[in-house]
Amino acid sequence: MEKFIKKGQIIVGLDFDNSKSAFEITKLLNPDNFKVKVGSQLFTACGPKILEDLKKQGFDIFLDLKYHDTPNTVEKAVLEACKKEVWMLNIHLSGGQKMIESAVKAKNSVSSEILLIGVTVLTSLDQKDLSDVGVSKNLEDQIFSLFSLGKKGGIDGIVCSPNDLAYFKKEEMNSFITVCPGIRVKAESGGQKRTSTIHDAIHLGADYLVVAREITSSPNPLKVINEIDSYFI
């Protein structure tokens, strides 16, 4: 069997509305192999305590709240998130240059080791969706325009579809992190329109992959986790 995943490269999305369900999954995970993602649903339901509890379990945490507000508000929010010693957090790059720079400033004031990554266009959106909200650029141009804004502002990486990895990986970005959400163990689309499998995304050059629904909605999550485990180098 081909082994192609590095330890720590898979981030499990804890997409639940309560800590009990989240911990039912984390007890099946080895923190040496997996990181975890806390999104808006779980964070809103449980508050910052969920971050403390997951850290006690030994996990690196990706805080996926996609901050998007005025520069001052985002700066303060990022500062508080970084004080919680998260491993990674994100912002919407459509918030503009000043907001991006404020977020980077706040992050670096706590620790330059924390990773701040940018969201360009959500992987649930396609060209029609962009048109519906008044974006006249085509999907690819909008993604790369926002990416350039984020890179100029000093972010550490980008959230992107596996379909866009070829572009990002040839842009002289050896230290620039790519995080791909909506990744499947086996090919299917779910709720996101620009997705891929673990195997394909890794071979396209993704640094980190977020796997959620296929684990959290499975009647046998341990079976899925064991399958992923079998691919670790």
Contact yes or no for 169/157 (Cβ under 8 A): no
Six token digits for residue 6: 């590095």
Cβ-based neighbours of 178, under 8 Å, separated by 6 or more: 157, 158, 160, 165, 168, 169, 205, 206, 207, 208
Catalytic residue among 6, 55, 66, 98: 66
Q: Are strands 115-119 and 88-92 parallel, antiparallel or unpaired?
A: parallel
- The pair of structure tokens assigned to 28 is 């099946």
Q: Does residue 86 sit in helix, strand or coil?
A: coil
Answer yes or no: 186 catalytic: no
Q: What torsion, rounded to 10 degrees, do the Cα atoms 46, 51, 55, 60 define?
A: 120
Instruction: Say if CB 178 and CB 207 are below 8 A apart.
Output: yes
Catalytic positions are 66
